[in-house]
């Protein structure tokens, strides 16, 4: 059986360099391009890449995906910064390129995907819920894509269940002290040397709290999810948002 031809964008970055090694080590995949900032995207078509793993920056991802989708190259995207407007733009591009698949995964690690799922399930059973994400200080975006997605899933689950707004008597204080408001869920971002990627979901009810915590201790935690995405996206046209759809965890 012929190997899937894979390219990595952001190949010199923290996660991109790990992804290069993971693709090289996979027997069913062939790394045909490893591109960094300033490299021409023509290398993707020249080398016949079938799937691109996009791990760059929120500022670069849209142009890169536009090129891939226009050329019928599937993409597995870990880069953050997704908004409704960006997703609509991507969906429009995909509609013009039937058969092309794009997976956007706010987080590729199985523990983080499960954290989101557990938080979604638990959220309607508690009065209060807040998200704290903790990352290395070189991260350019805040809050993290994972925390934003977690808060959105929590908010949707609470709305569906008819949950009341969260109790919060805060009337005065410093701007930002209560975190960012993502669909009514407070999200707090910590940047600390020594950390990699961590998240806590704090849930509180009468006389009890529940804490769901996940820690990515090494970039290797994201590799099984990236490889799964590469293998599945080629048979999944259109936009898939969240690795849970490839884990039968919806």
Ligand X SMILES: O=C(O)C1=N[C@H](C(=O)O)C[C@H](O)C1
Query: Does 108 belong to an annotated binding site?
Result: yes
> If contact means CB under 5 to 8 A according to the sort of partner, which of ligand NAI, ligand X, none does residue 56 touch?
ligand NAI
Binding residues for ligand X restricted to 135-194, rule: CB under 6 A:
135, 139, 144-146
Does residue 198 carry a catalytic annotation?
no
Q: Give the nearest distance from C-beta 170 to ligand X in angstroms.
A: 27
Closer of 67 and 125 to ligand NAI (Cβ)? 67
Consult the annotation and say whether 172 binds a ligand: no
The answer to whether the annotation marks 211 as part of a ligand binding site is no
Torsion of CA 222, 143, 68, 72, to 10 degrees: 70
- Sheet containing 208-216: which strands, arranged edge to edge? 180-182, 185-191, 128-135, 197-205, 208-216
Cβ proximity of 199 and 213 under 8 Å: yes
Cα-based distances in Å from 10 to 6, 67, 141, 198: 13, 15, 16, 22
Q: How far is the CB of 54 from ligand NAI (least distance, A)?
A: 8
Binding to ligand X by residue 13, rule CB under 6 A? no
Shortest Å, Cβ 197 to ligand X: 4
**Could you tell me which of 247, 219, 225, 233 has the C-alpha nearest to residue 103?**
233
Q: Which of residues 26-85 bind ligand X (CB under 6 A)?
A: 80
Catalytic pick from 135, 188, 198, 214?
135
How do strand 101-104 and strand 74-77 relate by DSSP bridges? parallel
- Cβ burial of 176 (10 Å; 0-12, 13-18, 19+) is exposed
Give catalytic status of residue 160 as yes or no: no
CA distance 86 to 248: 26
| Beta carbon of residue 238, minimum distance to ligand NAI (angstroms, whole number) | 19
> What is the per-residue binding string for ligand X in 117-136, x denoting contact by CB under 6 A?
------------------x-
Q: Which of residues 100-119 bind ligand X (CB under 6 A)?
A: 106-107
Task: Give the one entry of ligand X, ligand NAI, none that residue 9 binds, where binding means its C-beta sits below a cut-off of 5 to 8 angstroms depending on kind.
Answer: ligand NAI
- Please say whether the beta carbons of 94 and 102 come within 8 A: yes
**145 annotated among ligand-binding-site residues:** yes
Residue corresponding to tokens 């910064």: 81
Closest approach of Cβ 107 to ligand X, in Å? 5
Binding site partner of 101, from ligand X, ligand NAI, none, Cβ cut-off 5-8 A by kind: none
Q: Do strands 51-54 and 4-9 pair parallel, antiparallel, or not at all (unpaired)?
A: parallel
Q: Is residue 45 classed as helix, strand or coil in its secondary structure?
A: helix
- Token pair for residue 189? 């971002």
Q: Of residues 197, 202, 203, 226, which one binds ligand X by CB under 6 A? A: 197
* Positions marked catalytic: 135, 139
Residue ranges at the known binding site for (S)-2,3,4,5-tetrahydrodipicolinate? 136, 145-146
Residues that bind ligand X (CB under 6 A): 80, 106-107, 135, 139, 144-146, 197
């Amino acid at each position: 059986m012929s190997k899937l031809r894979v390219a990595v964008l952001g190949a010199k970055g923290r996660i991109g360099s790990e992804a290069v090694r993971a693709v090289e080590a996979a027997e069913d995949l062939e790394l045909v391009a490893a591109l960094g900032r300033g490299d021409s995207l023509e290398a993707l078509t020249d080398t016949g890449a079938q799937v691109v793993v996009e791990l760059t920056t929120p500022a670069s991802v849209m142009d890169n995906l536009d090129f891939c989708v226009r050329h019928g190259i599937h993409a597995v995207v870990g880069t953050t910064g997704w908004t409704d407007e960006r997703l609509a733009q991507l969906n429009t591009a995909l509609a013009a390129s039937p058969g092309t698949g794009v997976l956007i995964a706010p987080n590729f690690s199985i523990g983080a995907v499960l954290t989101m799922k557990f938080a979604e399930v638990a959220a309607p059973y508690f009065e209060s819920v807040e998200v704290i994400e903790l990352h290395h200080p070189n991260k350019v975006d805040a809050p993290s894509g994972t925390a934003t997605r977690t808060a959105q899933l929590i908010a949707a689950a609470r709305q569906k269940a008819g949950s009341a707004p969260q109790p919060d008597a805060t009337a005065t204080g410093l701007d930002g002290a209560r975190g960012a408001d993502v669909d009514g869920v407070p999200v707090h971002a910590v940047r600390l040397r020594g950390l990699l990627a961590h998240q806590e979901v704090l849930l509180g009810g009468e006389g009890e709290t529940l804490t769901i915590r996940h820690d990515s201790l090494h970039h290797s935690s994201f590799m099984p999810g990236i490889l799964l995405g590469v293998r599945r996206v080629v048979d999944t046209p259109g936009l898939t948002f969240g690795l849970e759809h490839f884990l039968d965890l919806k």
